[in-house]
């Protein structure tokens, strides 16, 4: 069973920069895994932010960016705002058949 691992929690100061990562138990994450990133606030459905590693949806704030970093998928928030406090999930695609979510990162803005 494939496992996707994220940092359980991270803390960042307002205006700061933070990078969340997403690792695969099968090896290095590549563009072929089409990493997707979601933001979820309490009581709300997840909201898509990033797809296929670097692409932003039309509603994704410019301070969010995606990349591959050291064999992992990464989500970087630059100039963090208080409203960015949320749970963040990555999603990886494996071939044409499987999707696997990471366990989520709880981001605290403090």
Partner 1 sequence: QVQLQESGPGLVKSSETLSLTCTVSGGSISYHYWSWIRQPPGKGLEWIGYIFHSGSTNYNPSLESRVTISVDASKNQFALKLSSVTAADTAVYYCARVVVGSTRKWVDPLGQGTLVSVSS
Sign of CA dihedral 57, 62, 67, 70: negative
Span near partner 1 by CB under 8 A; candidates 17-25, 37-45, 61-69, 71-79: 37-45
Task: Evaluate whether 86 touches 41 at the Cβ level (below 8 Å).
Answer: yes
> Is 10 a binder of partner 1 (CB under 8 A)?
no
Q: How far is CA 38 from CA 1, 2, 21, 61, in A?
A: 22, 19, 13, 13
Q: Of 16 and 90, which CB lies nearer to partner 1 in the complex structure?
A: 90
Q: Which of 44, 70, 69 is nearest to 54 (CA)?
A: 69
> Is 81 a binder of partner 1 (CB under 8 A)?
no
Q: Of 47 and 69, which CB lies nearer to partner 1 in the complex structure?
A: 47
CB of 31 to partner 1, least distance (A): 9
List contacts with partner 1 (CB under 8 A): 1, 34, 36, 38, 40, 45-48, 51-52, 55, 57, 89, 91, 93, 96-104
């Amino acid at each position: 069973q494939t496992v996707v691992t994220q940092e359980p929690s991270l803390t960042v100061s307002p205006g700061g920069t933070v990078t969340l990562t997403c690792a695969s138990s099968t090896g290095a994450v590549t563009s072929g895994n089409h990493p997707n990133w979601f933001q979820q606030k309490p009581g709300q459905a997840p909201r898509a932010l990033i797809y296929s590693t670097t692409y932003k949806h039309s509603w994704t704030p410019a301070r969010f960016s995606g990349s591959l970093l050291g064999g992992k998928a990464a989500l970087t928030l630059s100039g963090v705002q208080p409203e960015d406090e949320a749970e963040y999930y990555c999603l990886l695609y494996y071939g044409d058949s499987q999707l696997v979510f990471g366990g989520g990162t709880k981001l605290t803005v403090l």
